Structure 1
Amino acid sequence: MRALHEKDDPGLSSRSKFFFIALLCSFLWYVVPGYLFTTLTNISWVCWIFSKSVTAQQIGSGMRGLGVGAFTLDWAAVASFLFSPLISPFFAIANVFVGYALIVYAVTPIAYWGLNVYNANRFPIFSSHLFTAQGQKYNISAIVDDHFELNVAEYEKQGRIHLSVFFALTYGFGFATVASTLTHVFCFYGRYYPSNYFAEMLNFLLY
């Protein structure tokens, strides 16, 4: 109501003027890296220097690798991983960042180069695609019939579906996170549940 009916101070900029200036600035900030010059979304000096090295591309690329040495001028790319600092509190962002750094910069390189988990070296280190055992893209449409049911014969012909090591680990950690919620509740609040349960049952029976 105040925005619609309260009069602006003549000595200050109007609310509508401030809004349109902020809108124009945010639009220009996004349209350049997001549409006109998409290279600004991911700038990697490691990939520029070692342009012919596959390992350097895996380490330095912010789009298909670990993003070491890469930076961005695209706000959407910044907020996509660590949430927007304008919305989320610092402790939440720091918590996400620590987990993200451990998975991306510690667990994934060890699993890929050190342990070769799930034959990880056959596939890209970071990719959302599905692969065959030989590292080729998996033909999903070939194993699904017209009724969107699994064609077992075609599936056995192509073989098992494989994921990149990053996605395989993050899916596993995601399921573990759900299970860890129950463990957390049991460890920190488990002693309160028996007494509270019987107290609630007693109140229900009496009242």
Structure 2
Amino acid sequence: MKKANVFEFYRRLAELDPAPETELAWRNPYTLLVAVALSAQATDVSVNKATARLFEDVDTPAKMLALGEEGLKAHIRTIGLFNTKAKNVIAAAQILVDEHGGEVPRDRDALERLPGVGRKTANVVLNVAFGEETFAVDTHIFRVGNRTGLAPGKTPLAVELVLEKVTPAPFRAHAHHWLILHGRYICKARSPECWRCPVMDLCAYRPKTPPPAAKGAGAASNTLLPASGTHP
């Protein structure tokens, strides 16, 4: 994608949603870390349901250790891979208490050393909790980057590095969220809704998906993401 088109791509997404936020529920950097770790191979909705009561009582690593692995499982057993995730969350809490004074480190390497925390999770925490200009490449961003031509790459890291290079300064802080939401609600995996996409003319994807027949000719009008940070 040409430099001018990259700027316009982000400008349009920013115009529709000036202040995007994660759809995971969190209260502080620690609960964000836990929520993101739990969200691997699970939806944000399912994680939010499981953590609603958990985060009322547990919002620090010390409290998580006091809850214990079995206690944690009781809260998150509706989430996929909950046994492994519970083990990792408890192990990570112990490291945070022992090595970081119970605080979440603002350092990617330190975060990635925690059990169950990979580069994507670390980047989310750095971006959302600490305002770092990071690009957490999940399946949505990987798809959008490749499909549109914005940031092609064979691996999530490759896509991340391209995003680092091409994303203009005014959009770097929120780029991660705009791309995730675009992939989640418009540029879907099985059936991208090109007919209502705000960046359709900038995108390399061919052929464009036509509007559903039931909606008729008028469906191709500008039906975009809700503005002001609200999403379906």
TM-score by length of 2: 0.24
Larger Rg: 1
TM-score by length of 1: 0.25
Compare relative contact order (CA 8 Å, sep 6+) and give the higher one, 1 or 2.
2
